[in-house]
Amino acid sequence: MILTVTPNPSLDRTYEVPRLLRGAVLRAGTDRVDPGGKGVNVSRAIAAAGRATTAVLPLGGAEGALLARLLGEQGIDVAGVPVAGATRVNVAVAEPDGTLTKVNAPGPELTPAEAESLLTAVGERSAGAGWIACCGSLPRGLAAGWYGQLVARAHAAGARIALDTSGPSLTAALRERPDVVKPNAEELAQAVGRPLVTVGDAARAAEELRGLGARAVLASLGADGQLLVDDSGTYFGTARVTCVRSNVGAGDASLAGFLAAGGEGPDALASALAHGAAAVRLPGSAMPAPADLEPSAVTVTRAVPDDRALTEPAA
């Protein structure tokens, strides 16, 4: 079983339009609502693969009730922590060429008691979890060190932690030695405090995060591929993608694939790449099922193309 923790979940509403025109009245071709939040998406991808998962998350208002119902309909065990504020609603507008415009709401402000209740819920549900995936931004009311507290408590209980966050909350958690962290190129550059121009730059930055405490680093480089740096070495992988419909949740699907394949080594990296590539071919924040995967489109090597320029250098 894989347990996910999403401190700032959402309902994600996606509209597909022929073209986004500022100030115009647009008619959407499709309109879908999906459960949202990075950890929520990981649980959705795990459930789509037919595996057991529990989602720990704060829930508030009618929006929270709808989020819990939608997750339950997808076969996810929901461990909701009641909060006074309403669960946020995010909006995305997708264009045919793959351009995505997003408006993310801030979410409710959690009280100290609600923050502690979230930690308690994780402890109560962590027995038997192969991995605990802690994902996403922290809502108002949670200090930057909250993820660090969670990692410390989980390790004390013998659990393995995958952490997908950024900024001060990532930096603060590194000293607790999370088992794997999953930054994208921009977050990796922010963590080491310098621009990343090549794949080799990203690999060296990942090694620095390991020096700061991360036991392994799974770094997403967008269209350029992914890196895995752990005790066994450095691996680089790419996946062939013929079309991009929506990249919402693709990184979360990638983390789900990585953890579902054991969470270590090149086979897990290949699974991460296959899941991420499948996700971008789907509408909105839909998560891929096994039938959507194309393992033959994935290549993983131990040879890192050191001088290959990143398509979008991370400042």
∠ at Cα 144 (220, 195), nearest 5°?
40
In total, how many domains does the chain have?
A: 1
Closest to 55 in 3D by CA, of 130, 101, 121, 128? 121
Q: How far apart are CA 55 and CA 76, in angstroms?
A: 7
CA distances for 53 relative to 29, 153, 183, 276, 313, angstroms? 33, 20, 22, 19, 35
**In the chain, where do the E strands start and end?**
2-5, 10-16, 30-36, 53-59, 77-82, 88-94, 100-103, 131-135, 161-164, 180-181, 196-198, 217-220, 226-230, 233-239, 298-301, 309-314
User: Structure tokens of 105?
Assistant: 């709401």
- What's the domain range around 232? 2-20+27-314
Q: What is the pTM of this model?
A: 0.92
Spatial CA neighbour of 160 closest among 129, 121, 191: 129
Tell me how far apart the alpha carbons of residues 51 and 86 are, in angstroms, rounded to a whole number. Answer: 29
Q: Which residues contact 97 (CB under 8 A, 6 or more apart)?
A: none
Q: Collect the ranges in the chain with pLDDT lower than 70.
A: none
Helix extents (H) in 175-264: 185-192, 199-211, 250-260
Residue 249 has a pLDDT of 84
Alpha-carbon span 56 to 125, nearest angstrom: 8
The CATH number of the domain holding residue 10 is 3.40.1190.20
Q: How far apart are CA 118 and CA 128, in angstroms?
A: 18
Q: Which of 34, 179, 224, 252 is catalytic?
A: 252
Measure CA of the first residue to CA of the last residue in the chain; give whole Å.
Answer: 37
**97 labelled catalytic:** no
User: What integer pLDDT is reported at residue 73 of this predicted model?
Assistant: 96
Whether the Cβ atoms of residue 45 and residue 287 lie closer than 8 Å to each other:
yes
